[in-house]
């Protein structure tokens, strides 16, 4: 009896093993990359954080309590400190978290400057799903937000000099930065595919000349180049138009590195035996490119795109920070940091720096995911060490 | 010897072609800036109360040579640029070579110092991280160097400012203290300069170091497993001597080759860091010329000088590599 069970399980094991092997050999490139990617802890953590932040940014209109533009400002709480909800204080415990009431006063005592005073006796309670500023999401109009307070407004990250909620701005700006990065990467990718593709496929003289141009573009430091191009954007353009122009500029400057990669892939792949085999079978050039060459490196190109993504986001941030990129009604980290170098902010309003933390986490997550993907996409990655 | 000279000459020729191409790109870009020097100068005169007419603008254009065709102006510009002569600034009305002179060398010095700092740290750290078996060490080094990539220099500069203002009550900005700002160079001025310049050098070196560690690590990791290293250790060479004499020599070749692009990356960040730390050098001037005053002459001159230094360094590293690396030397000498 026991014997039969044993042979049974052994048989099962063999079966499973066989199936695993079969799965391994028949897996597509995407599946292989995913299997290797899953093994890397740091990259998986990065991916989780990244997905959470992207979703947070995507659902920002609902998850944040106020409109991030001037429409959602709190004129009674400018340059206000973060208001952290509490459960208890010297006046007792409450199941519902609360914040205090803040009042702006000025009198002879404060030398006629506006001063915010905290009234610890008047509690305001946090409520879920209140009706607030209207927003459009997926083409529909809503006004429900995740949380708010019963009276007045709550600012968990504080407010800026015009009274805009920093928490709302931070997560709306993730959206903007991702959008700029996506458009930039897409344009860079199309340019890289055309230029690198032509250079790699034809080789020879065409390749040499295109390589020289690519190298010349690479020699010019990118940010001065950004600055030079961004300086042409007329000031009177609407913020949306500016947004698109900035993304396009980022794309136009970001292509050389990608183009080099595409070219290298193509130069290596077009001399492979499977291409020769296909040619001997009488396949046309178009068929070879579509069915054999492109699938052989699409996954690597996707990895390259993800790796270059955070640099696009950072460039946009740097450009907006110095005032040449996006401008006020659009929210991005650079826009939010425009005024922080003043001594006033450094000494008194340090909560202006809170968004920085989220952006470092976002970019760090991207870098980890990109690096994990690069390792996973390397077919010789397993054999080393 | 003759072959080497031919190699050097080809490289120099290529460098000059690159420079000419870059100058064309820069000149074209500057051409796109709305308005030209003549309009800007006369607009300035207008604010001084002098009435101007279209005819005045045209006369000024002729005086500055702006009425000539685009290509001819480019050829004149580049001819002068190679002699270190960039004409007058549109807005500031002073000779650009004079205006830039010292400031440009200060900027270049700061960038080179950051580059040096980056590799002094990165080479030993990269080698250790590539050869050590300790997972904790590797992971923490990896995290630090990723942080260097994820936290751009200007954010670091902001953080340092935030920190120093809270702790010391001084923002640590500027390159000179008040009494030395316009003084002539002297020993005290150099001392004062060094006491302040370390901060921008450190900040600019930060992400360069992170990047360099990654490069050194990757190159070393590729070399360490190779057979010649195994053969050397079989002959009894061990430890630091082994690493230093065999894989490190091979791994560091490509690094010499990429120094120019590393410098490019550091230059890249200079204008923004300069803006935050209120440094008075070329990066700052470039920013002002582009963002505030649209001074295309000045901006073009700075970008051209930047690229010229990068191309120059690329040329020098090519020659150094050809002299030091026997593989490259063999391929040149045939």
Choosing among A41, A218, A227, A255, which should be mutated to test the B contact, i.e. which has the most B CBs within 10 A? Answer: A227
Q: Looking at chain A, which residue has its C-alpha nearest residue B274?
A: A322
Mutant choice from A220, A232, A327, A360 vs B, greatest count of B C-beta within 10 A: A220
According to the model, what pLDDT value does residue A385 have?
38
The pLDDT value given to residue B293: 64
Choose, out of B10, B15, B149, the residue to mutate when testing the contact with A (most A CBs < 10 Å).
B149
Q: Which of A41, A354, A333 is nearest to B143 (CA)?
A: A41
* H-assigned helices in B33-134: 37-47, 54-64, 70-82, 96-131
B157 touching A (Cβ < 8 Å): no
Report pLDDT for B83: 76
The number of residues in chain B equals: 334
Handedness of CA B182, B170, B209, B300 (dihedral sign): negative
Q: Is the model's pLDDT at A5 over the cut of 60?
A: no
Taking the Cβ of residue B308 and every Cβ of chain A, the question of whether any pair is shorter than 8 Å is answered with: no
Out of A52-56, A219-223, A319-323, give the one with best mean pLDDT. A52-56
Q: What is the DSSP letter of A292?
A: I
Q: How far apart are CA A322 and CA A227, in angstroms?
A: 9
* Minimum Cα–Cα distance from A363: chain B residue: B150
Q: Give pLDDT, residue A2.
A: 46
What average pLDDT does range B90-99 have in this prediction? 70
Q: How far apart are CA B140 and CA B149, in angstroms?
A: 14
In Å, how far is B166's CA from the nearest CA of chain A?
Answer: 7
Read off the pLDDT of each residue in A86-91 and give the average, rounded to a whole number: 74
**What is the distance between the alpha carbons of residues B79 and B93, in angstroms, rounded to a whole number?**
21
What is the average per-residue pLDDT within A53-59? Answer: 87
Both structure tokens of B132: 């050590």
Q: For position B146, what pLDDT does the model report?
A: 81
pLDDT over 50 at A311, yes or no: yes
Flag if B158 and A353 touch (Cβ within 8 Å). yes
Element (H, E) at A55: helix A41-58
Strands A92-105 and A115-128: antiparallel
CB of A368 less than 8 A from some CB of B: yes
The reply to whether A334 touches chain B by the CB within 8 Å rule is: no
Mapped onto helix, strand or coil, the DSSP state of residue B220 is helix
- Which residues of chain B lie closer than 8 angstroms to A230, CB-CB? 290
Is B155 in the A-facing interface, judged by CB distances under 8 Å? Answer: yes
Reading the block at residue A208, the tokens are 């040499």
Question: B157 with B273: CB under 8 angstroms?
Answer: yes
**Measured between beta carbons, which residues in chain A are less than 8 angstroms from residue B271?**
223-224, 227, 322
Within an 8 Å CB–CB cutoff, is residue A191 touching chain B?
A: no
Q: What is the 3-state secondary structure (H, E, C) of B3-24?
A: HHHHHHHHHHHHHHHHHHHHHH
- Longest Cα–Cα distance of chain B, Å, equals 87
The one-character DSSP state at B290 is I
Does residue B107 contact residue B306 with C-beta atoms inside 8 Å?
Answer: no
Hey, what are A24's tokens?
A: 């391994």
Question: What residues have CB less than 8 Å from A307, skipping those under 6 apart?
Answer: A370, A371, A373, A374
pLDDT of residue B278: 73
What are B116-122's contacts with CB under 8 Å, separation 24+?
Answer: B117/B201, B117/B202, B117/B205, B117/B208, B117/B209, B118/B205, B118/B208, B118/B209, B118/B211, B118/B212, B118/B262, B119/B212, B119/B255, B121/B205, B121/B209, B121/B212, B121/B213, B122/B209, B122/B212, B122/B213, B122/B215, B122/B216
What secondary structure does DSSP assign to A162-196, as a single string? T--BHHHHHHHHHHHHHHHHHHHHHHHHHHHHHHH
pLDDT of residue A378: 67
Spatial distance between the Cα atoms of A251 and A309, rounded to a whole number of angstroms: 11
Mutate to test the interface with A, among B138, B141, B162 (most CBs of A within 10 A): B162
B34 pLDDT exceeds 70? no
Kindly state whether A314 is in contact with chain B, defined as any CB-CB distance less than 8 angstroms. yes
Question: How far lies A65's CA from each of A157, A169, A170, B40, in Å?
Answer: 12, 10, 12, 48
Task: Respond yes or no on whether ipTM tops 0.85.
Answer: no
- From CA A266, how far away is CA A245, in angstroms rounded? 31
Local structure of residue B246 (DSSP, 8 states): T
Q: State the first-to-last Cα distance of chain B, in angstroms, to the nearest integer.
A: 12
Interface of B with A in 197-236 (CB under 8 A): 221, 225
- In terms of CA atoms, which chain B residue is nearest residue A353? B159
3-state secondary structure of A99: strand
CA–CA min distance A165, chain B (Å): 21
Nearest-5° angle of CA B52, CA B97, CA B288?
65
Residue scoring higher pLDDT (A158 or A28): A158
Distance CA A148, CA A241 (A): 33
- Say whether B287 and A227 touch across the interface (CB within 8 A): yes
CB contact under 8 A, B303 and A228: yes
Res A175 pLDDT > 80: yes
d(CA A229, CA A250) in angstroms, rounded, equals 10
Q: How confident is the model at residue A69 (pLDDT cuts 50, 70, 90)?
A: confident
Cα-based distances in Å from A186 to A181, A189, A190, A308, A323:
8, 5, 6, 11, 24
Is residue B261 less than 8 Å (CB to CB) from chain A?
yes
| Greatest CA separation for chain A | 97
Using an 8 Å CB-CB cutoff, list chain A residues near B311. Answer: 219
B236-274 pLDDT tens trace = 877 777 777 778 877 777 788 778 878 888 887 787 787
Counting residues of chain B whose pLDDT is more than 70, the rounded percentage is 77
In tens, the pLDDT along B133-167 reads 777 887 788 788 888 877 777 778 877 877 777 77
Chain A residue with minimal CA distance to B312?
A: A219
pLDDT band for position B202 (50/70/90)? confident
Around Cβ B283, how many Cβ atoms within 10 Å?
31
- Write a three-state SS string for A360-380: HHHHHHHHHHHHHHHHHHCCC
Instruction: Find residue A119's DSSP bridge partners.
Output: A101
Does B186 touch chain A if contact means CB atoms closer than 8 Å? no
Q: What is the pLDDT of residue B153?
A: 79
Could you tell me if A354 lies within 8 Å of chain B, comparing CB atoms?
Answer: no
Q: Please tell me which of the candidates B32, B155, B290 has its beta carbon nearest to residue A227.
A: B290
Q: What is the layout of strands, in order, in the sheet containing A86-89?
A: A86-89, A92-105, A115-128, A147-149
State the nearest Cα–Cα gap between A289 and chain B, in angstroms: 32
Q: Do A219 and B151 touch (CB under 8 A)?
A: no
Tell me how far apart the alpha carbons of residues B139 and B146 are, in angstroms, rounded to a whole number: 10
Residue tagged 């990467």 (tokens):
A185
Beta carbons of B155 and A347 less than 8 Å apart:
no
Partner A contacted by B161 (CB < 8 A) = yes
Q: Which tens digits make up the pLDDT trace of A328-379?
A: 777 777 788 777 767 677 777 778 888 888 888 888 888 888 888 877 776 6
Taking an 8 Å cut-off on Cβ atoms, the answer to whether B272 and A314 are in contact is no
**Using CA atoms, how far apart are residues A215 and A267, in angstroms rounded to an integer?**
18
Would you call B267 and A353 a contact, using CB atoms and an 8 Å cutoff? no
Is A221's CB within 8 Å of B311's CB? no
Asked if B22 lies within 8 A of A220 by C-beta distance, the reply is yes
Where do the DSSP E strands lie in chain A? Answer: 86-89, 92-105, 115-128, 131-137, 140-144, 147-149
Quote the pLDDT of residue B92. 66
Q: Do B152 and A227 touch (CB under 8 A)?
A: no
User: How close, in Å, is residue A19 to chain B by CA atoms?
Assistant: 33
DSSP label of B88: B
CA B154 to each of CA A76, A334, B164, B248: distance values in angstroms, whole numbers, following the listed order: 32, 11, 15, 33
Are residues B271 and A224, on separate chains, in Cβ contact within 8 Å?
Answer: yes
Residue given tokens 């109360």 in the structure block: B49
3-state secondary structure of A124: strand
Note which residues in 32-51 of chain B have CB less than 8 A from chain A: 32-34
Distance CA(A41)–CA(A36), nearest Å, equals 11
Q: Does A364 sit within 8 Å of B147, measured CB to CB?
A: yes
Return mean pLDDT, chain A: 77
Residues whose CB falls within 8 Å of the CB of residue B127, separated by 6 or more in sequence, listed in order: B216, B220, B243, B248, B251
Name, in order, each residue with C-beta under 8 angstroms of B235's C-beta and a sequence gap of 6 or more.
none
Cβ proximity of A277 and A288 under 8 Å = no
Contact A223 B269 (CB under 8 A): yes
Nearest CA in chain A to B300: A228
Question: CB contact, 8 Å: A337 with chain B?
Answer: yes
Q: What predicted TM-score, i.e. pTM, was given to this entire model? A: 0.78
In a 3-state reduction of DSSP, which class is residue A325?
coil
- Are the Cβ atoms of A221 and B150 closer than 8 angstroms? no
């Amino acid at each position: 009896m026991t014997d039969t069970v044993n042979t049974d399980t052994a048989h099962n094991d063999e079966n499973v093993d066989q199936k695993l092997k079969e799965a391994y050999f028949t897996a597509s490139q995407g599946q292989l990359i995913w299997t290797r990617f899953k093994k890397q802890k740091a990259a998986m953590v990065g991916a989780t954080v990244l997905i959470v932040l992207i979703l947070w940014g995507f659902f920002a209109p609902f998850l944040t309590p106020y409109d991030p533009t001037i429409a959602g400002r709190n004129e009674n709480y400018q340059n206000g400190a973060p208001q952290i909800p509490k459960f208890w204080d010297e006046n007792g415990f409450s199941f519902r978290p609360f914040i205090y009431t803040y009042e702006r006063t000025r009198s002879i005592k404060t030398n006629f400057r506006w001063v915010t005073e905290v009234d610890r006796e008047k509690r305001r309670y946090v409520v879920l799903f209140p009706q607030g500023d209207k927003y459009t999401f997926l083409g529909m109009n809503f006004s429900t937000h995740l949380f708010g307070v019963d009276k007045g407004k709550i600012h968990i990250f504080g407010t800026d000099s015009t009274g805009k909620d920093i928490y709302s701005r931070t997560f709306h700006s993730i959206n903007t930065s991702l959008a700029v990065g996506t458009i930039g990467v897409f344009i860079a990718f199309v340019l890289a595919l055309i230029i690198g593709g032509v250079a790699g496929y034809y080789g020879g003289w065409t390749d040499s000349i295109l390589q020289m141009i690519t190298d010349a573009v690479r020699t010019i430091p990118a940010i001065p180049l950004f600055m030079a191009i961004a300086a042409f954007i007329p000031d009177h353009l609407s913020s949306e138009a500016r947004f698109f122009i900035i993304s396009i500029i980022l794309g136009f400057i970001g292509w050389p590195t990608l183009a080099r990669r595409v070219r290298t892939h193509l130069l290596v792949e077009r001399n492979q035996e499977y291409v020769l085999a296909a040619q001997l079978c009488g396949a046309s050039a178009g068929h070879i490119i579509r069915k054999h060459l492109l699938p052989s490196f699409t996954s690597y190109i996707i990895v390259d795109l993800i790796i270059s993504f955070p640099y696009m986001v950072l460039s946009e941030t740097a450009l907006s920070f110095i005032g040449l990129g996006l401008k006020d009604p659009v929210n991005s980290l650079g826009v939010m940091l425009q005024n922080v170098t003043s001594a006033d902010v450094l000494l008194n309003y340090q909560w202006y720096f809170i968004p920085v933390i989220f952006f470092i986490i976002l970019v760090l997550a991207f870098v980890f995911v990109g690096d994990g993907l690069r390792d996973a996409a390397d077919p010789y990655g397993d054999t080393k060490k | 010897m003759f072959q080497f000279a031919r190699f050097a000459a080809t490289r120099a020729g290529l460098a000059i072609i690159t420079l000419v191409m870059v100058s064309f790109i820069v000149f074209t870009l500057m051409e796109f800036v709305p308005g030209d020097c003549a309009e800007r100068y006369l607009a300035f005169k207008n604010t001084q109360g002098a009435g101007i007419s279209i005819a005045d603008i045209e006369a000024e254009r002729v005086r500055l040579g702006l009425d000539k065709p685009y290509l001819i102006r480019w050829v004149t510009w580049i001819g002068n640029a190679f002699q270190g002569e960039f004409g007058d600034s549109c807005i500031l009305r002073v000779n650009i070579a004079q205006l830039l002179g010292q400031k440009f060398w200060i900027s270049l010095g700061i960038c080179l110092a950051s580059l040096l700092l980056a590799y002094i740290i990165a080479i030993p750290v990269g080698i250790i991280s590539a050869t050590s078996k300790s997972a904790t060490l590797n992971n923490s080094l990896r995290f630090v160097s990723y942080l260097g990539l994820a936290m751009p220099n200007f954010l670091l500069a902001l953080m340092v400012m935030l920190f120093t203002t809270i702790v010391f009550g001084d923002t640590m900005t500027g390159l000179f203290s008040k009494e030395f700002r316009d003084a002539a160079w002297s020993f005290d001025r150099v001392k004062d300069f060094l006491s302040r310049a370390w901060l921008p050098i450190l900040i600019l070196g930060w992400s360069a170091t992170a990047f360099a560690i990654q490069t050194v690590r990757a190159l070393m990791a590729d070399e360490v497993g190779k057979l010649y290293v195994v053969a050397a250790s079989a002959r009894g060479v061990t430890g630091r001597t082994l690493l230093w004499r065999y894989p490190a020599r091979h791994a560091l070749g490509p690094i010499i080759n990429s120094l120019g692009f590393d410098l490019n990356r550091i230059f890249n960040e200079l204008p923004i860091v300069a803006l935050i730390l209120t440094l008075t050098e070329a990066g700052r001037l470039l920013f002002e010329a582009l963002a505030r005053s649209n001074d295309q002459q000045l901006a073009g001159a700075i970008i051209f000088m930047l690229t010229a230094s990068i191309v120059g360094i690329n040329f020098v590293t090519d020659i150094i590599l050809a002299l030091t690396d026997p593989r490259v030397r063999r391929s040149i000498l045939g």
